[in-house]
Amino acid sequence: MRRIVAMLLVSAATATLGACGKAEKSDKAIEQGGGLPTAPVVQRDTQPFSPVRPISVGLDGRVLSVKAVGGDCLTPSLSARETSGTVALTIKVVARENRGQACTTNAELVPLKVTLTRSLGVRKLIDGATGRPITAPVVTSSDARSRLAVLPSQADADGAVLPADRENALRTEPSGPGAVSCRSDCFRRRR
C-alpha cells in the first residue's frame, strides 16, 4: 500500500514539473510571435451617426424631423446648433442601463424632432459631428402639399402627407401594423 501511494506521489510530482516546463516554453513562444494564433485586428467604423433619410421640415420651417436608429438599450437624441448660414444637426446615442433585463439587438427607427429659433430658410444643413453638408433629401410639408394638393388636415404628426383624393390613392393592403399602402403618388406612413 505504501508503495502505491509513493508511486502516485512521484507520478503527480513528475507531471506537475513537466507541465511547468511546457508552460514556460509556450509563454516564450507566444512572446516571440509563435504559439497560439491571434485574432486579426479589425478597424472599427468611425463614421459619425447619420440621420435616416429624408429630413422633414415643418410648414413654418422651424421644426426639423428625422428618424434615427435606437433600440431597447440605445436612446438617440437630436440637437441643432444654428448660425446665420448653417444649421448643424447632431444625433447622440446614449446607452441605457437596463438593470436586471437583457438588452436585445433589436433596432428600430425612432422619430426625433428639434425646433429651430428661426426658420431654416436658405441656410444649409450640416452634420454637427463632421461639419460636412447633409446630403439627405429635405422634404418640406409645403412642397409636398403643392405637389399633391393636400389639405392641411391630411398631414400627420410626422409630416407625411396623403393626396386629397384618398379613395383613388389608397388601397387596403397594409403591410404591417398601422401601415397604409398607396399608389406611387403618395407617401407611405406608419402610425
| Res 51: pLDDT | 53
pTM: 0.47
Tell me how far CA of residue 185 lies from CA of 1, 92, 130, 182, 188, in angstroms.
Answer: 95, 34, 35, 7, 10
For the chain, what percent of residues have pLDDT higher than 70? 41
151 pLDDT more than 70: no
| Res 50: pLDDT | 53
Tell me how far CA of residue 127 lies from CA of 11, 134, 136, in angstroms.
Answer: 70, 6, 11
73 pLDDT more than 90: no
Higher-confidence residue of 96 and 130: namely: 130
| Res 81: pLDDT | 94
Higher-confidence residue of 151 and 41: namely: 41
| Res 129: pLDDT | 83
